[in-house]
Amino acid sequence: MRPILIGAGRGSRLAHMTEEVPKTLVEAMGRPMLDWILEALAEAGYQKRDIVFVCGYHADVIRARYPEFTYVENRNWESNNILLSLLCARQHMAEGFLSSYTDIIYRGSVVKKLVTSPHDKVLACDTDWRRRYRDRTQHPETDGEKLRADGDRILELSRTIEPEAAQGEFIGVTKFSREGARELLAAFDAAEAQFAGQVGRVWREGRTFERAYLIDLFQAMIENGSAFHRVDTHGGYMELDTLEDLSFATKWWTESR
């Protein structure tokens, strides 16, 4: 079960910070975001040689800095979104996998919880997510990938969930067992066959298939009866999407657990 890191995008909301490097190499608290992620994965026993990295924007920079990774390239990163980016690594999924966004920082403890969970499809959830949104003016709560759950079983994943009704925010880190990966790939293929390549045809929440998020596929699977579970972190996570977010990073991290 290898970690797949999804890092193809530029991160235009970080402005000049991504002119020469991809978003994940922007520094937060003195180190690139990617190095924080590698540290968290290392706490769960993963080394750089275990990493599968989905590259795109300034792929040459990532390849030069981290030659130990296995690389796959999203050549269409400017026109697609994170779901299709993840599926560029399809050949590495069959035996199960972890996946992670790469514009985030999180603690290794939540990775350990994912790895040891007995469930096939498990998402990491921040239960203290609203604390960070109080500071943000460029990234409202409506942008959060929120979830509702009954205990540890996820009932709904959507940005449209009212904040007061959410049990937490999906942080972008997942685990899929071999069986979970099989289900995911079958659901992706079904959605692709029905919706891919149809200009302007909406698939989920106003988005086309090509511009879909991970949560779009996960929610479609939930609606078809597939069981997704969660493991929690109470803080110990932050997304760094804007220059404003970077200015808050030290404060957020110091206050988290």
9: domain CATH number is: 3.90.550.10
Q: Helix, strand, or coil here: 129?
A: coil
pLDDT, tens digit (0-9, with 9 covering 90-100), for 73-115: 999 999 999 999 999 999 999 999 999 999 999 999 999 999 9
What is the gyration radius of the CA atoms in the chain, in angstroms? 17
Tokens (6 digits) for 67: 């030659």
Residue 181 contacts residue 97 (beta carbons within 8 Å) = yes
The average pLDDT across 103-130 equals 97
Rounded distance between C-alpha atoms, residue 181 and residue 192, angstroms = 16
Task: Using the predicted structure, report yes or no on whether residue 200 has a pLDDT greater than 80.
Answer: no
What is the span of the domain harbouring residue 243? Answer: 2-255
Grade residue 230 by pLDDT with cuts at 50, 70 and 90. Answer: very high
- Element holding 113 (H helix, E strand): helix 108-116
Answer yes or no: is pLDDT of 13 > 90: no
* Number of CB atoms found within 10 A of residue 172's CB: 22
Residue 227: pLDDT over 80: yes
**pLDDT at 168 (0 to 100):** 96
Burial class (CB in 10 A: 0-12, 13-18, 19+), 193: exposed
User: Count of domains in the chain?
Assistant: 1
Judged on CB neighbours under 10 Å (0-12, 13-18, 19+), 44 is middle
Residue 196 confidence class, pLDDT cut points 50, 70, 90:
very high
